[in-house]
Structure 1
Amino acid sequence: MTDSRPHGTDAFLAAVRSGDSARFALITERHRRELQVHCYRMLANFEDAQDLTQETFLRAWNKRESFKGQAALRTWLYRIATNACLDFLEKRNDRTPVPAGLPDSGSDEVLYLQPYPDRMLPEDPQESVVARETIELAFIVAVQHLPPRQRAVFVLRDVLGWPASKAADALELTVASVTSALQRARTTMREQLPDRRLDWRSPATHELSSDERGVVKSYIDAHERNDLDGLASLLRDDLRFAMLPEAGTSVSTAKDAVDGWVSGGLFQRGYDDWRGITTTVNRMPAAALYLRTPDDPTYRLFAISVLHIVDGKIAELTGFDAGGKPWLGIPPALPSDEVPESRG
Structure 2
Amino acid sequence: MTDTGLPDTDEAAFIAAARSGDAARFALVTEPHRRELQVHCYRMLANVEDARDLTQETFLRAWHKRASFEGRATVRTWLYRIATNACLDFLAKRTDRTPVPSGVPDPEVEVPYLQPYPDRMLPEDPQDAVVARETIELAFVVAVQHLPPRQRAVFVLRDVLGWPASTAAEALGVTVASVTNALQRARVTVRAQLPARRLDWRTPATHELSSDERGVLAAYIDAHERHDLDGLAALMRADLRFAMLPDPGTVSRTAREAVDGWVSAGLFGPGYDDWRCTATTLNRMPAAALYRRAPDDPEYRLFTLAVLHVVDGEIAELTGFDAADKPWLGLPATR
Same topology, TM > 0.5: yes
| Residues 270 and 180 of structure 1, relative CA distance in 2, 3 Å threshold | closer
The aligned counterpart of 1:340 is none
What are the Cα deviations for residues 282-319 of structure 1, in whole angstroms up to 9, with x where unaligned?
11000001112332221111110000000111000000
Aligned-residue offset at 1:94: 2.8
| Residues 269 and 230 of structure 1, relative CA distance in 2, 3 Å threshold | farther
Quick one: distance in 2 between partners of 1:104 and 1:145? Answer: 17
What are the Cα deviations for residues 107-126 of structure 1, in whole angstroms up to 9, with x where unaligned?
x2100001111101000234
Matches within 5 A, 1:64-83: 64-83=66-85
The aligned counterpart of 1:338 is none
Counting matched residue pairs gives 328
Which amino acid is the alignment partner of residue 131 of structure 1? A
| Residues 10 and 105 of structure 1, relative CA distance in 2, 3 Å threshold | same
Which amino acid is the alignment partner of residue 182 of structure 2? A
- Contact 1:131–1:201 (Cα < 8 Å) also in 2: no
Ranges in structure 2 where 5+ consecutive residues have no aligned partner: 1-7
Quick one: distance in 2 between partners of 1:271 and 1:278? Answer: 19
Which amino acid is the alignment partner of residue 199 of structure 2? L
Matches within 5 A, 1:237-256: 237-256=238-257
Deviates more, 1:298-307 or 1:92-101: 92-101
The aligned counterpart of 1:342 is none
The aligned counterpart of 2:4 is none
- Contact 1:288–1:305 (Cα < 8 Å) also in 2: yes
Which amino acid is the alignment partner of residue 48 of structure 1? D
- Contact 1:44–1:114 (Cα < 8 Å) also in 2: yes
1:129 partner SS: helix
- Contact 1:251–1:257 (Cα < 8 Å) also in 2: yes
- Contact 2:278–2:288 (Cα < 8 Å) also in 1: yes
The aligned counterpart of 1:308 is 309
- Contact 1:121–1:128 (Cα < 8 Å) also in 2: no
The CA RMSD over aligned residues, in Å, is 1.7
Aligned-residue offset at 1:177: 0.6
Deviates more, 1:198-207 or 1:302-311: 198-207
Aligned-residue offset at 1:274: 1.2
The aligned counterpart of 2:61 is 59
1:11 corresponds to which of 10, 13, 21: 13
The aligned counterpart of 2:179 is 178
2:286 partner SS: strand
2:42 corresponds to which of 40, 43, 63: 40
- Contact 2:102–2:251 (Cα < 8 Å) also in 1: no
Quick one: distance in 1 between partners of 2:19 and 2:294? Answer: 61
| Residues 309 and 53 of structure 1, relative CA distance in 2, 3 Å threshold | same
Aligned-residue offset at 1:95: 3.6
Which amino acid is the alignment partner of residue 30 of structure 2? T
Identity %: 77
The aligned counterpart of 2:190 is 189
1:309 partner SS: strand
Check if 1:85 corresponds to 2:90: no
1:20 corresponds to which of 11, 22, 38: 22
1:196 partner SS: helix
What are the Cα deviations for residues 257-304 of structure 1, in whole angstroms up to 9, with x where unaligned?
011011111122796011101100111000001112332221111110
Which amino acid is the alignment partner of residue 25 of structure 1? A
Which amino acid is the alignment partner of residue 332 of structure 2? P
Aligned-residue offset at 1:98: 0.7
2:300 partner SS: strand
Instruction: Give the TM-score of the pair, scaled to structure 1.
Output: 0.91
- Runs of 4+ in structure 1 deviating by more than 6 angstroms, as ranges, are none
